[in-house]
Amino acid sequence: MKDSVNVHNKDYELGGQINERSASKFTFRTRGFLALILTCSLLSFFTFRRPTLEALNVSPTDGLKDACPQAAPISPSFHKDLHGDLEEEYATDEFRLKAYESLGGAVRIPTEAYDDLKPPGQDPRWKIFDKFHAYLEETFPLVHTTLRKTTVNSYALVYHWQGTDPSLKPILLTAHQDVVPVDPHTLDQWLQPPYSGFYDGKWIWGRGSCDDKPGLIGSITAVESLIAKGFKPKRSVVLAYGIDEERGGISGGPAIRDHLLSTYGAYAFSILIDEGGDLDVRDDVVIASPAVAEKGHFDLRLVVSTLGGHSSVPPVHTSIGILAGLIVQLEDNPHTPHLNRNDTYYTNLQCQAAFDPDLSDELRTAIQWSLTSDWALKDLESQLFESDPRLRAIGSTTQAVDLISGGVKVNALPEEATAVVNHRVAGWSSVSALKTRIVEVLLPTVKKYNLSLDAFGEEIGDDFLTAAGQLTLSDAFGTALEPAPITATSHNAAYEFLSGTIIAVEKSSAKGSRADVPVVVAPGILIGNTDTRYYWNVTENIFRYGHVDRYAKYNGAHTVNEALLAEAFIELIRFFTVVILNADETNLL
């Protein structure tokens, strides 16, 4: 207001004829006028801050398609006749029913991976994998008489199909044999028994029907079918099937990695395809999202230690109460999501803006503006992450308190209380940065409860002798994992190979409805982790992709009523078949 008064005083002096009352009136009117201008400016800012691209004579996809290059379809040429024969066979009822039963039979063997499994040979629960291996040998006899099979760490499987040209780098197709255990308390919620492998004419039911026995049975079925047609590859093909991906791949992943490195060497494979991204099949577009990145992983263990004693003389806060306060502190300070131009998710957004006809004009415009404007990037960030919790998970490090324990008797003070918090580390962050932030967030609560702090092996804060208790922070299972290296998509021949193969397979879908529908490949990021965490130095071209329509999963994975649309399984077999045939001909790998 002081500046306004000064301006008005100046006007009064310059005017020379305005009395005090008229000066006051002038000042009031001027202030009102300025207020009106300010209000209109703010309204204009919030209403028109995203001018339409059309109004500026800018194409809705200018600059976007360059960041999301699309490959031409790649179909077998030299092996065209063989491919055609197999396509005809895959369309027969005889083949389909046999394929459905092969997946159903695999589902019927409950290869459950428990978090507390002891190493193979030390835990009888591994024995079920012997039965699964026998099933594979019986169901796929040509694979087992043609390929060289190696069993590593008792149950992990590696199959080598020798090519005629040893100068060509092999392709590596991976999957896992294990499944998430079924909670016995949920048995009455299943429409079909969880290990029935039942085909009801549309769906194949049971645990593992989505994750990840289709990947295993689909790839080995493709190889079996190719052998039956007399195909002999020029480029070697390797199949690798883990045994405990669902608990972090502790026993299977490292064993397979070590075998691959000792047998083939570092970066010896041209491409690796594992489970992961899927298809979004719609009436007007099909968007395939092979994941080229994975978030990191860190399980934080919090242990609060205090003096015990009789519950009749309790302290103000027991170890359980203190642990609860620490958990609340963590949950009250969630990680802030960020959108970065070098993130895979941002590349995916550009692909959607360039090719997805169902994307809103407002969001398409916002993505376009964000290419060059930092302000627009922040605005897009808020639009996305405030509207969808799943998108927040993609754009930030997440935390979830999943395990808690403490106390042994109702009248005995608990001397120790423990919780484990699962974190999925954002691609732009690191495990080290996460640890630093955890300490910063918890320190106020540590001081509130007068605790000493052992933070990942470093003593911080009050002396242990004067503290009311101790908080120990550690890596719960020793499985901390940095975010995965990002597989290049721009100017990467292997990505072009995979993209072209995906487009060709989907364009010629056995369902016969894809020929006139655009098929777009948009790179994605996994917010979970696969066995590929162990294969970073096996190849630079790691892709996590399952070629299954997301709507072909009845209720998703890791929950009740897991089921796969049977037709989707045939499409997956088609995909693996074309990958192998294309790899035999291409100069992109």
The mean of the pLDDT values for the chain is: 89
pTM score: 0.87
Average pLDDT in the 478-503 region? Answer: 96
Is 274 annotated as a binding-site member?
A: yes
Q: Count CA atoms closer than 13 A to 449's CA, side-chain side.
A: 26
Average pLDDT in the 191-216 region? Answer: 98
Band of pLDDT at residue 344, cut at 50, 70 and 90: very high
Is 138 annotated as a binding-site member?
A: no
Q: Which tokens is 339 given? A: 């959108």
Pairing of strands 291-294, 524-526: parallel
User: For a pLDDT cut of 90, what percent of the chain falls above it?
Assistant: 80
279 CB-near residues (< 8 Å, 6+ apart): 286, 287, 288, 289, 506, 547, 548, 549, 550
Backbone angles phi, psi at 155, to 5 degrees: -135, -15
Distance CA 140, CA 476 (A): 40
Q: Cβ distance 227 to 497 under 8 Å? A: no
Is 558 annotated as a binding-site member?
A: yes
Q: Concatenate the DSSP letters of all residues of 458-509 into one string.
A: EEEES-TTTSSEEEEEEESSS--BPPPPPPP-TT-HHHHHHHHHHHHHHHT-
Average pLDDT in the 316-337 region? Answer: 96
- Hey, which residues are catalytic here? 178, 245
State pLDDT tens for residues 457-469.
Answer: 999 865 655 688 9
Partnered with residue 64 across adjacent β-strands are none
Burial of 500 (0-12, 13-18, 19+ CB in 10 A): buried
Q: What is the pLDDT of residue 65?
A: 80
CATH fold of 296-335+397-475, please?
Answer: Alpha-Beta Plaits (3.30.70)
Distance CA 268, CA 103 (A): 31
**Domain boundaries of the chain, sorted by first residue:** 93-277+531-585, 296-335+397-475
- The domain 93-277+531-585: what is its CATH number? 3.40.630.10
Q: What is the pLDDT of residue 55?
A: 46
Distance CA 114, CA 250 (A): 11
CA nearest neighbour of 206 among 122, 104, 313: 104
Secondary structure class of 118 (helix, strand, coil): coil
Angle at CA 449, nearest 5°, toward 443 and 452? 60
Q: Count CA atoms closer than 13 A to 533's CA, side-chain side.
A: 27
CA nearest neighbour of 97 among 214, 199, 186: 199
Distance CA 48, CA 284 (A): 31
Secondary structure class of 109 (helix, strand, coil): coil
Angle at CA 307, nearest 5°, toward 306 and 308? 115
Average pLDDT in the 377-382 region? Answer: 93
| pLDDT of 576 above 70 | yes
State pLDDT tens for residues 6-35.
Answer: 322 322 222 333 333 333 433 444 444 434
93-277+531-585 and 296-335+397-475: identical CATH topology: no
